[in-house]
Amino acid sequence: MGDYKYTRTSNGNAAAAWSDRQPFFRLDALVNVATVITDGSGTLASTTKITATESIAVLDIPANSWVINVITRIITASTDGTATVDIGDDSDVEGWDAAVDITATAGTNSWSNNADDAYNLQLASGKVYTDADTLDVLFNNDTTNGIILFQMVIMELAYIDDP
């Protein structure tokens, strides 16, 4: 199983020190499947595709944070016949969202909002991470292309604003 990270803050700059962030913030990762294949050739099973059941870590989840939701937005649809991904973490590979269709029309959004998603905001109020983790994307099918944006809405639990 390959492990490849594309991490950036929402403004595209290098990640700020954890203590420099506001209590609520968003982390984004723009994942270009073709680039992952090219750049991750040493960690992926194939040099031409992300093979079904391979997982990539797309964002670092800081310790002492409450991830409120994870949103997936299709930027460029995959042209592979069938291509879905599960979005989760080390505890649950599809905890955030299961079977997201990455062949969907550009602009399509998906998020943790149904009863099958363990961290569903309506049922579970997101997830608290006391230890650092990663947001992982598990490919359910062989995938060769597509561009997907993953966004995490987070609250730092240790944030205290002095009066």
User: What is the residue extent of each domain of the chain?
Assistant: 8-156
> Which residue, among 135, 143, 3, 9, has the nearest Cα to 76 in the 3D structure?
143
Is pLDDT at 46 greater than 70 in this prediction? yes
> What does pLDDT average to over the chain?
83
Q: What is the pLDDT of residues 56-85, one digit of tens each?
A: 999 999 899 999 999 999 999 999 999 999
The answer to whether 75 touches 148, Cβ cutoff 8 Å, is yes
Compute the 3-state secondary structure of the chain and give helix, strand, coil in percent, each to the nearest 5: 10, 40, 50
The Cβ of residue 9 has, within 10 Å, a number of other Cβ atoms equal to: 14
pTM for the full predicted model? 0.83
- In the prediction, which pLDDT does 20 show? 52
DSSP run (H or E) holding 70: strand 65-76
The pair of structure tokens assigned to 59 is 């964002």
Choosing among 3.40.30, 2.40.50, 1.20.120, 2.60.120, the CATH entry for 8-156 is 2.60.120
Per-residue confidence band for 161, with pLDDT thresholds at 50, 70 and 90: low
Phi, psi (rounded to 5 degrees) for 123:
-105, -40
- Between residues 41 and 86, the one the model is more confident about: 86
